[in-house]
Amino acid sequence: MDEPTTATTHDATSGDGARKDGAPDESPTDDSPRGAAFTADERAAMKERAKEVKAERRGKASGKADPEADLLAKIAELPEADRMLAERVHAIVTEVAPQLTPRTWYGMPAYAEGGKVVCFFQAAAKFSSRYATLGFNDVARLDDGAMWPTAFAVVELGPAEEARIRELVARAAGEG
């Protein structure tokens, strides 16, 4: 009777990038070092999140935290097209769901309830995407049957898109 074998990730390659098992090498194809698990943009977002956590701790300890000021500063740094979208989303979210706390999350404008991010705006420039994204986390109350969207591409905001965002944010925050 054969004994079961276990393989760890370091057993899969011979050290020169070629896989021992003959499977194709699926390393990232970006400019990151061979074998890196994250892109440069992803690593930058994680570093921003680490800074946010440190700032939150310092702010709580000193009583001087101003997460909305941090969010507005991040919006101001965005390229013009992303900035205009983010400013409109911010205005809509704060109007429709004033109980959500504006803050940053991985360097993105976000809105939280009880410390948990409900929704966020990801600028197109954040990960060199062709469109911005309005995303909702699992605490958002968007449930609709067995499957529902949690992220929406945003390329421009007209009256119809703004109305849709209002409805989504109200539902996500438990207002609709």
Angstrom distance (rounded) from CA 77 to CA 75: 5
Confidence (pLDDT) at 54: 80
CA distances from 163 to 64, 89, 129, 169 (A): 35, 11, 24, 10
Residues 148 and 172: their CA atoms lie apart, in Å, by 12
Sign of CA dihedral 65, 68, 71, 76: negative
**Tens of each residue's pLDDT in the chain, 176 residues:** 444 444 433 344 444 444 454 544 444 444 545 667 888 888 887 888 888 778 777 766 555 568 899 899 999 999 999 999 999 999 999 999 999 999 999 999 999 999 999 999 999 999 999 999 999 999 999 999 999 999 999 999 999 999 999 999 999 999 76
**What are the phi and psi torsion angles at 19 (to 5°)?**
-85, 135
Say what the pLDDT of residue 60 is: 62
**Assigned token pair, 73:** 């500063």
Q: What is the pLDDT of residue 15?
A: 45
- Output the pLDDT for position 25: 47
pLDDT at 42: 86
Rg (CA), the chain: 21
Crossing angle for the helix pair 80-96 and 159-172, to the nearest 10 degrees:
50
The pLDDT assigned to 12 comes to: 42
Crossing angle for the helix pair 80-96 and 67-77, to the nearest 10 degrees:
150
Q: Which domains does the chain have, with CATH numbers?
A: 67-172 (3.90.1150.200)
**Residue 13 confidence (pLDDT):** 43
Instruction: Report how far residue 6's alpha carbon sits from residue 11's, in angstroms, rounded to the nearest whole number.
Output: 10
